[in-house]
Amino acid sequence: MVQHNLQSLFNVSEVEIIYRNKIPYQHRLQITKSATAYEILRQSWDENRMELVEQFKILLLDQKNNCLAVSDIASGGMSVCIADPKLIFVTALKTRATGIILAHNNPSGNLQPSEVNKILTRKIKEGGKLLDITVLDHLIVTPRNYYSFADEGCMPF
């Protein structure tokens, strides 16, 4: 019986973390303004879904704000999408990102942030402080325009 319990201690899963960025450093786009982030996001968004369902994405940045990747975090219904902060941070940690830009679309075309948007942004910003990951902005995107929390002075401190 004791032998069996000892053997079961070795029956555990292993976790392997791998990260490879196929884009050479000198070819990565640097994001110095919200318009650049919006253009990158627009290129990654499926235009056929942008006005249909709400989706949440993040841009992952290095310490010089060079874009490492765009990641799809969640897809929801016509009026709501649940973005899990744990999934946001595990993605950022795996890519060695030191900064992130949050983004979601509003299928209605409304660019004004809701109270839920503000609360989520604050929550993720606070979590980022613990992990030394800076949340630089949160964009609300539509096919024709965007709203930047940072540009409008709405990023929490």
Q: Dihedral sign for Cα 5, 13, 131, 106, please.
A: negative
Beta strands in the chain (DSSP E): 55-61, 67-75, 99-105, 134-141, 146-148
DSSP state of 145: -
Cβ-proximal residues to 125 (8 Å cutoff; 6+ apart), any chain: 135, 155, 156
DSSP state of 30: B
Average pLDDT over residues 104-130: 96
For all residues of the chain together, what is the average pLDDT? 92
- pLDDT score at 13: 76
Average pLDDT over residues 118-138: 97
Amino acid at 73: I
- pLDDT score at 9: 64
- Determine how many CB atoms are found less than 10 A away from the CB of residue 149: 23
Q: Which tens digits make up the pLDDT trace of 49-85? A: 999 999 999 999 999 999 999 999 999 988 889 999 9
Superfamily of chain region 2-148: Cytidine Deaminase, domain 2 (3.40.140.10)
Q: Which residue has the higher pLDDT, 25 or 111?
A: 111
pLDDT band at 145 (very low <50, low <70, confident <90, very high): very high
